Amino acid sequence: MVWLRRCTHYLFIVVVAVNSTLLTINAGDYIFYTDWAWTSYVIFTLSQSLMLAVGAAYYLTFTGVPGTATYYALIMTVYTWIAKGAWFSLGYPYSFIVVPMWIPSAILMDLAYWATKRNKHSLILIGGVLCGM
């Protein structure tokens, strides 16, 4: 069963990377429509935060490897900046989209794991709240 867990982990890394890029591109597409800019950014941020929380909580719960949330957040941030660069290369202004910072929330989530190592349910609860903040 180790191979299944490892494959799931690598598959989730690919999903995180692709979604980070695509969500940035889709959010950027609506930025210039004044009515949709705020809605697009909110949906983008919520979907990314949810993806980080679910993925990190899943991996931490089933493997117990610390630092996973921070690892996912770093991947998401890097690929978001790559998508931002793609928009810039198409001629859009570089500052047209704000990139949310997931890394501090992810670090807090990893710290919550260390604090609640013996109780996995409180890890999911506390980590989810911290990531949502």
Which domain, by its residues, includes 101? 2-132
The dihedral region occupied by 91, where left means phi > 0, alpha psi between -120 and 50, and beta the remainder, is left
Look at the chain and report how many structural domains it folds into. Answer: 1
In the prediction, which pLDDT does 64 show? 63
The pTM score is: 0.56
What pLDDT digit, counting tens, does each position of 29-59 carry? 555 555 555 666 676 667 777 777 776 676 6
pLDDT at residue 120 in the model? 65
C-alpha 39/C-alpha 62 separation (Å) is 34
Task: Tell me the pLDDT tens digit for each residue of 75-118.
Answer: 777 777 777 777 777 776 655 555 666 777 777 777 777 776 66
What integer pLDDT is reported at residue 83 of this predicted model? 72
Q: Output the pLDDT for position 50.
A: 73
Note the pLDDT of residue 59. Answer: 66
111-121 burial, b for 16+ CB within 10 Å, e for fewer? bbbeebeeeee
C-alpha to C-alpha distance for 77 and 71, rounded to whole angstroms: 10
